[in-house]
Each structure stands twice: as structure tokens, then as C-alpha cells.
Amino acid sequence: MLLSRTKSKIWIHNNNSPNFSCSSFKDINTLFSDDSDYNSPVSTTTTKKPNIFHRVLRVNAVLRAFSTRPAPESTTPKSIQIPAAEKKIVIYFTSLRVIRSTFDDCKAVRSILSSFRVSVDERDVSMDAGFMEELKTILGTRVKTKLSLPRVFIGGSYVGGAAEIIQLHEAGELKKYVEGLTPAEFSTCEVCGGNRFVLCEECSGSQKCYSEKSGFRTCTVCNENGLIRCPSCYYPIL
């Protein structure tokens, strides 16, 4: 009778060995190994590595160091004041629909300001480019700098653009800014009909003037649209 030879399997468990049989667990062994393992004769030639608890302590120390740093100083610009506007609102805006978002912002801000029934001086930069130059002078910006619209001044002080006005209005704080301002006049100007501009009398809006001596020349009275600001209802700030 033939006897089949079977291989006996003997499992040997070494309590002194911290390593798993699978090489993929070598990182886990390293993290959970005791400090005594690094002091063993086998590891005398290697640099001692901190265990996981030391790493956690170091991370917490770094986080505490960043959290205790002083907050940066506020970069809020100084208040901007304009003369001859202490009792009214001045808004620089555009009525052109070239940029839809800008037009919508200007329309929304004008609607909010008009609801308080106070005096609002509306200055349309699309009607006269001089308004934009005036605004840049007030804000102290460079000539070639492009400014977003609208820009609002209340009681002679600069408040901000569309985002600031809408935020103040939704929070109920805007009404505090307009308290004490001159009430709005519901009568329409008989000269310009409320448009704030009239046709230039020198060139009749053509921007060209003719004389027998020099022929045609560019009109120096009106703006780029052949208009002049209404002498009856417009009062310059600068």
C-alpha cells in the first residue's frame, strides 16, 4: 500500500517581530512601532524617526502658531469728500446698454435712490465724457483708469458702487444715510425737460461752426454729443 506524503504546515508566530508578512503594511509598522525598536542594535545605523504621536504634536504646534498671528491691518481707503453736495445724493452712471451688467446695476441703484424721495443729482457719463473725468478727479485715479459704474456719493461722502448700495438697502441701513437730505423736487425743469442737457446754440448740435473768415471749425462750446449742460438745473460740484 502506498502512503501519500503530505506536507505539514507549521505556523510560527514570533511575538518579537513587529513586521507583517505583507510588504504593503510596512508603513503601518513604522507608525506604530515603539521607540525601543529604534534603539535596537539593528537600527543603530539609521536615523531615529518620530512616531505618529510626535507628528500630531508638531502639526498642532504649527497650527497654533498661525492662529496667534496678528490680523492684517484694514486696507479700507480713506473717506472721499466732494464739495457742494452735503444735502443731496450724487450718482455717476451710464444709460448705455453696451455692457448689460453695468446698465442693470445703474438702473437698480437709481431705482433704490429714487424711492427715498430725496434730491438726486444724476450724472450720465454717456451724455458727457466730462462727467467721467470729473469722477476720476474726485476719486484721485489716473486718467487712463477704467472705473466701474455706478458710483454714489451721499451727503458729500463717497459710499460706493452697486454692491455697497444694494447691501445697505437690504440691511435697512441706507435710510440712515439719507436722513436730513433735501427733499426731491417733483417739478420738471422747463428748460431741459429733466434731461439735464440742451442742444448747443452755437452749432445746433452739429459740433461744427462756420465763419466766412476761417470756414468750418470744431465747436468748443458743446460736448462730443453736441450738447451743453442745462444752465437752469445743473450745478457743477467742482
Q: How far apart are CA 102 and CA 95, in angstroms?
A: 9
Question: 37-51, 119-133, 146-160: which has the minimum mean pLDDT?
Answer: 37-51
State residue 20's pLDDT score.
47
Instruction: Identify whether residues 143 and 217 lie together within a single domain.
Output: no
Instruction: Identify whether residues 143 and 208 lie together within a single domain.
Output: no
What would the mean pLDDT of 60-85 be, rounded to a whole number?
57
Per the structure block, which three cell numbers stand in for 54?
510626535
Q: Is 44 part of any domain?
A: no
- Pair type for strands 197-199 and 227-229: antiparallel
For residue 203, the number of C-alpha atoms closer than 13 Å in the C-beta half-sphere is: 19
Q: Which residues contact 107 (CB under 8 A, 6 or more apart)?
A: none
Q: What does the angle CA 105 – CA 109 – CA 111 come to, to the nearest 5 degrees?
A: 120
What is the 8-class DSSP label of residue 118?
Answer: B
Range of the domain at 167: 89-177
The pLDDT > 90 percentage for the chain reads: 47
**pLDDT by residue (tens digit) across 128-152?**
999 999 999 999 887 677 899 999 9
Question: 29-33, 128-132, 153-157, 205-209: which has the minimum mean pLDDT?
Answer: 29-33
Whether 91 shows a pLDDT value over 70: the answer reads yes
Instruction: Identify whether residues 125 and 150 lie together within a single domain.
Output: yes
Q: Is 164 part of any domain?
A: yes
Whether 80 shows a pLDDT value over 60: the answer reads yes
Count of structural domains, the chain: 2
Q: Is 113 part of any domain?
A: yes
Return the number of other C-beta atoms located less than 10 Å from residue 206's C-beta.
14
Q: How far apart are CA 141 and CA 133, in angstroms?
A: 10
Q: Output 5 or 210, whichever has higher pLDDT.
A: 210
Burial tier of 205 (Cβ tally within 10 Å: 0-12, 13-18, 19+):
middle
**pLDDT by residue (tens digit) across 152-198?**
999 999 999 999 999 999 999 999 999 999 999 888 888 988 888 99
Whether 51 shows a pLDDT value over 80: the answer reads no
Confidence of residue 203 (pLDDT cuts 50, 70, 90): very high
Q: Which residues contact 58 (CB under 8 A, 6 or more apart)?
A: 50
Instruction: Identify whether residues 98 and 162 lie together within a single domain.
Output: yes
What is the value of pTM for the model shown? 0.64
Show which of 177, 204, 221 is a domain's final residue: 177
* DSSP annotation string for 48-114: ----HHHHHHHHHHHHHHHHTSPPPPP-PPPP-B-TT-TTSEEEEE----SSHHHHHHHHHHHHHHH
What rounded mean pLDDT belongs to the chain? Answer: 78
